[in-house]
Chain A
Amino acid sequence: MPKCTINGTEVEVKEGATVIEAFKKMDEDIAHYCWHPGLSIAGVCRLCMIDVEGARGPQIACNTVVKEGMVVTNQSEQIKDIVKWGMDFHLINHPLDCPICDQAGECGLQEQYMKFGQYDPEMDQRKVKKRKVVDLGEKVVLDSERCILCSRCVRFTDEVSKTKELGIFNRGDRSEIGTFKDKPLNNKYSLNTVDICPVGALTSKDFRFRQRVWYLKNEDTVCNGCSTGCNIKVYYNEDGLFRVKPEHNEEVNGYWMCDDGRDIYKFANKDQRLLKAKKFDGSTWLEMTAGKAMQDLHQNLFNDVKTNCSKVGVVFTGQYTNEEYANAMQTFKSLGVASFFEWNDSESTKDEFDGLLIRGDKNPNTKGLQDEARNHSGLKSLSDAISAVESGQIDTVFVMAPENISVYPNYQKTYESLSKAKNFIWFGANKTEGFEKTSSANTYLIPMKSYIEKDGTFSYHDHAQKFFAVTTIVAGALTLSEAMTLFQGKELEFELRAKPMTSLKNNHFTLNRGKL
């Protein structure tokens, strides 16, 4: 393990590590655009300049391997000057787009200009104009004027997604990023290029112009789009969630996530959610709060379930947390109910894996569900449940419905088949408008919290991850555990928890209003 000295402090790094990694380890400022820890080294931006003691001249930190006893600094006047005018060179043809650029507020150029640049431009020639608003594919838009040709996006499609759609075309100041003629950027990981682009050259069609980034807070959580469980950051404000970006976790997802996972914020937003509990008593739908509905359920059905426990079925999906499964199964077991079913619309593809991140099992917690059920009487399949309902073997069904319904193509069909039962209790986060009318039974619809709003643990295919509530979107919704407590006729206990306002510090513009 070689040791080196970075700006006067000694640091030990891994064998073969580069100087820029040592800088990052020390949290020392160093200008850079093209280096990305998840990609190969390109050394094209020439901003990560350092002085190495004994070397002939300045070097680039991203392509210099640390050697034992190396003494490195980037504090000398000469280096600062090189970086400053290097930055000027990058910005010669850069348009004055910040007001309409989606990257503004989290832009590498803005940040590094304030840190290392702050020069007065000395260019008196006209700017080279390039193509704007180029449609690269289904999800990504390119603005070649803003591109600084760091080649991160090209390296991403070459090395990580291995789809090789992007390239740099032309030469000199006419160089441009582009796709080969008939091959749009449509791979399953394309939005990662937007994340790693240090400027606003690549933007996401989904997020474009919907919010300014400084209006958003962010919080870490995990993705529930499949059983990989990428670590993510969700960006939200009082209007709901707006986007999802990957967070680095070497053991799970590295620096990346798939494009489908970035849509998970959509089902959690208010316009997709069941806001109030509903009860159908054979003729009309009554709206009530979730707590009221659970009390009602306790009075009407609790004793019934106890006495008729052999005619009760509980259908689970792999979209709830371990804690909720434990609680719910315990509750039903104590009532004597033993028929547990598993509903999984991605059953047939559940062992598929694309070699990078995407897994065929589109539930985050199938493993947690199956592990928990092993402590009880195991899980039967959904078709068993449907036939039992049809034959009248089961007349009371509790359904723990999925929240990410985009991976449940049979969502409505299953609702319709199961709602033929005499008593039908549906716990779900999504709105059921459009098909709730088909039910003729004693039906309850109980709004559930999405996983963004609760604490819990998911057991993914080979690891478990704990996550914490990010924000509240539907105030009246319950977790499954809360619903079970109320179902047993007990009171809810509230734990008031002061949340540290970590995200506030991200909101630089609001905090420094008037001082900028």
Chain B
Amino acid sequence: MKISGAQMVMEALKHENVDTIFGYPGGNVLNLYDMLYDTDIRHILSRHEQGAAHAADGYARATGKPGVVLATSGPGATNLVTGIAAAYMDSVPMVFITGQVAIPLIGTDAFQEVDITGITLPITKHNFLVKDVRELPTIIKQAFYLATTGRCGPVLIDIPKDVQQAVAEFRYPENVSIPGYNPTYNGHPGQISRGARAIARAKKPVIYAGGGVTNSGAYEELLQLAEQCGIPVTTTLMGLSAFPGNHPLALGMLGMHGTYWANMAVSNADMILAVGARFDERVTGDAKRFASKAKIVHIDIDPAEIGKNVQVDVPIVGDVKLVLTELLKKLGPSDTGPWLEKIAKWKEETPLSYSQDMNGEISPQFVIEKIYEKTQGKALIATEVGQHQMWTAQYYKFTRPRSLASSGGLGAMGYGFPASLGMQVGRPDELVFCIAGDGSFLMNSQELAMAVEYNIPVKVAIINNQCLGMVRQLQQFYCKGRYISVDLQQVPDFAKMAEAYGALGLRVEKPADVVPAIEEALAFSGPAVIDFRVMSNTNVFPMVPPNSQINKMIKGEQK
């Protein structure tokens, strides 16, 4: 049977078991939306395409299924760009479908024409401009396959209007063959043996786990390996929900705002097992002196990550879950007692700390710690970007896989709130929190309308320090306190704003009211925003100055 290109897209989405998409309509996706009308696919209308992109990203991170976004040509497509980049940097499986002007108009600067495949070339795993409706089924199949296999990432399909309208025979391919794409899943047995030997020999081992653990679904395997061999685990921001934060072997996050003991452990380790992590500069500080006493075993599905930033002793290219499974077979228990004791001493010496005067202003960390206690580390959390993000990483102990969505690589303010909505849409039975800064929240607060329209009961905790805290901190340290453009007194009353959208809005100014407000929001069945007025000049510690060794931390305020 012959069907239109727009119908093909719908059929293909059904074949890919897509039941929810996020998007925003427009002239050059008219046909797509018209065909969407006849399907059971749920379309969630954002209020800005960036919101749709981040929401679908949160959906993907929380569920492991690809996030799908539909947007029109021109401004619709350019509004996606930050969302695509965020997904690319964090290897999130996503498929973006954009409308394009009709083929004869391409290259004529037609109304709402932009070269979105050109624009997104460096921020997609791959992209397609469909020139012939007959290629559409194969292209969509390939797009989903590319997005969800190997190192995951966003793929964009740009479909001109006349291709959406053209008709052709539809047969959805069962298999994909992409000659230039053959990810390696099974680790090389010889390398795995070498890795196992390095692990077994280590007296001071540390596992450094990243987002790859989540993407490959290796939560159990990682836990088992750590426990079996008694190896402490530090994670990147992306890896926080890949290992239970309340586990005795958990060291918390490492790097720039990592815990003192995690950074000390890594700097003194004799073996680092890097699992699905990429030695980002926020993690390594001065990469040349990172973990300089350690033999490094690096497991990653992307060969290009191996040796990119740091010299590796035992590279193992492959799927983290499969490789860990093989490693487990070769490893027995080892005695790391003295090493764990040493780490415990570092922790005792310099724990994470803050103070809360119950009669004074609210400390930002206090709010996050209370959210942790109230949810017992079981909530799904999306964060925005800034100090509150780092405090979440430090004080919220994630205990379940896929329970954190945070823009790690791109660090995009405006990510967290829409992402939290997507997480909730993907996992409707879970409790979802968005931990936001006052600056970040304003970047996509229009999605309160999405939250209310679809009754997505996310609880937003705005850590409102009346400033762009992270930048204020940088200006304090590196610009001699010459504060410029970081003051954020002029913001709306967030509680009233939430109410105006039809959500619950609360404002908290006293430490004693923090817990009751959290409880009230939790008791409410719909979306809620709590404006926590916290002190404005708190800094995130520890802190590794740029490009220095990560064991050279500024531990706290100079007194």
The answer to whether A and B interact is no
Measured CB to CB, the residues of B under 8 A from A are none
Binding site for B on A (CB under 8 A): none
